[in-house]
Structure 1
């Protein structure tokens, strides 16, 4: 089972990563000014993750592949890591769909 790992950055912002069951980061948030904002972001990921239409599948200038997960309003709520192939990126999306909806939240130090 995956989990949301949360932490406060050195910049004072709050961040989360969605980790797969093997501990690999599959989705990263932008910074939030408050814990409440970050928790709303996590809830938005849980809600929007199952919807295939909420994923933008992208190609980077260096030839790698990534995706963004967007909320219903079109705002990006999570970004993936870079992948070497389209198949790997698509597997990452499937992992977010599978792990996010029921993932517990764990605060990291």
Structure 2
């Protein structure tokens, strides 16, 4: 089963989405958008850019100095 984007309004009345895997697990959530049009543009941006997005593995990089305190 393919994943799906679920669109909803949060408690503040902003538009948000969550991306669910085929098994129903939430794998990503979106920021708050002022309008449904802006939200849909955000989803389309993810759809068009994700397939060609570069993977940058920073898991072995030292933590920024501010986080080492």
**TM-score bracket relative to the smaller structure:** 0.7 to 0.9
1:78 aligns to what?
28
Larger Rg: 2
Q: Secondary structure at the match of 2:6?
A: strand
TM-score (norm 2): 0.75
Residues matched between the structures, number: 58
Q: Which has the higher contact order (CA 8 A, sep 6+)?
A: 1
Return the alpha-carbon distance in structure 2 between the equivalents of residues 89 and 107 of structure 1: 28
**Where in structure 2 are there 5+ consecutive unaligned residues?**
62-69
Match of 2:43 among 69, 82, 93: 93
**Where in structure 1 are there 5+ consecutive unaligned residues?**
1-47
The two structures, once aligned, show a CA RMSD in angstroms of 1.6
TM-score (norm 1): 0.49
1:56 aligns to what?
6
1:15 aligns to what?
none
Q: Are 2:56 and 1:106 equivalent residues in the alignment?
A: yes
- Deviation above 6 Å: which 4+ runs of structure 1? none
